[in-house]
Amino acid sequence: MRLGERKRKILRAVIDDYIMTGEPVGSRTIAKRYNLGISSATIRNEMADLEEMGYLEQPYTSAGRIPSDLGYRLYVDELMDRYEISSDFLKFEFDFDSMSLEEIVKDMTKLLSKVTSYTSAAITPQLKKYILKGIYLLPVDKKMILLLVVTSTGINRECVINLNRELDQGLLEKVANIINEKFAEKEIENFAFDIMDKILVELKAYDYENELRHIVSILHKNLKALYNKEIFLCGTNNILNFPEYNDINRAKLFFSVLEDKEALLDVLEPDTTATIKITIGRENKYEELKECSVLKATYSVDDKVLGSIGFIGPKRMEYSKLIAILNKICEDLNDLLSKYI
């Protein structure tokens, strides 16, 4: 059943006010703050109807009303005003030319949290094929080396490896050359990890077998990591700025889902059916998110979806503003990432 225009205006006013204040909204408030041209008594009756229809809820007797999940859904789909942001709203202070694809997405996620004060999240870019450009082993200290894995897409891996004994630079270069002969300029997608055993056989000609085996093992893990989806989270404590999360149990539920990587990957999985996907309250699959909303947007290049980026927060979100920001950041991300694909 479609709501009449008067009920739609009242529902939008209630939700706008609740998003702004976080306090249950009464008919007198709507009459004073919003020029609807109707009496407080009429508004009160209409709000009672909206509650009966499932769009509003009354948290306790004699209180004003708050939006239900159904009310938020109608608001997001049909009622809220479109938010306009200026072209320079998101000011980038990054040297993108010197950054990898992953670093760009990570810094964009930080920027989202900074400019909105919400918890932001992103899934790392996922590509079907990587060309391995080279593997480098660089001495950092006497018993410490840097392993650097470089790919054609700018998605790289680096880590510091601690060893029991010192390896001279000449040996490190020989080891890197042996590995690169096997892998360089090949697609990691077709990478047979049993080649690692063959590499170890060749390295037996050198001393320091335990150290070399340790290096190859860590290389193995880093190459596999190129296929593992990772999550960036920023501003996780921002949720505590919302009065709703003064409730310690509600806060615990929120943080518990942030600690569950598999659940987060599921929640943030890119949606190929819509540029921006919003799930509100009980629309969310996980019980821990029944009091939250999730806004996520896909970022892509040439219609190839690479990952997702968005917000996890209370149902009382500034939906219109966040949608506008997500649209803008995805446009910028798509342009920036196109040079890597």
**Locus of tokens 């001279």:** 168
Residue 45 placed within a domain: yes
Region 167-180 average pLDDT: 84
Greater model confidence, 320 or 149: 320
Q: What is the pLDDT of residue 324?
A: 94
Q: What is the pLDDT of residue 63?
A: 76
Tally the domains of the chain: 3
Tell me the percentage of the chain whose pLDDT exceeds 90: 45
Residue 90 placed within a domain: no
Same domain, 72 and 193: no
pLDDT > 90? residue 289: yes
H or E element: which one contains 218?
Answer: helix 209-225
Greater model confidence, 156 or 48: 48
- CATH of residue 25's domain is 1.10.10.10
Residue 91 placed within a domain: no
> Token digits for 304?
């190839």
Chain length of the chain: 341
* Residue range 137-149, pLDDT digits in tens: 888 888 888 988 8
Q: Whole-model pTM?
A: 0.76
- Domain assignment of residue 75, given as a range: 5-79
Residue 88 placed within a domain: no
State the pLDDT confidence band at 48, using cuts at 50, 70 and 90.
very high
> Token digits for 300?
């892509």
Give the closest residue to 14 by CA, choosing from 62, 66, 54, 57.
66
- CATH of residue 299's domain is 3.30.450.40
- CATH of residue 158's domain is 3.30.390.60
pLDDT > 70? residue 155: no
Same domain, 168 and 267: no
Tell me the percentage of the chain whose pLDDT exceeds 70: 86
Of 73-77, 93-97, 113-117, 330-334, least confident by mean pLDDT is: 93-97
CA dist 312 → 4, 34, 106, 239, 302 (Å)? 32, 30, 16, 9, 27
Residue 87 placed within a domain: no
Q: Which amino acid is it at 213?
A: R
Same domain, 245 and 330: yes
Residue 153 placed within a domain: yes
Q: What is the average pLDDT value for the chain, to the nearest integer?
A: 85
pLDDT > 60? residue 53: yes
Region 3-9 average pLDDT: 94
Same domain, 235 and 334: yes
Region 99-105 average pLDDT: 77
pLDDT > 60? residue 211: yes
Residue 294 placed within a domain: yes
* Residue range 129-139, pLDDT digits in tens: 567 788 888 88
Region 295-310 average pLDDT: 86
**Dmax of the chain from CA atoms?**
91
pLDDT > 60? residue 67: yes
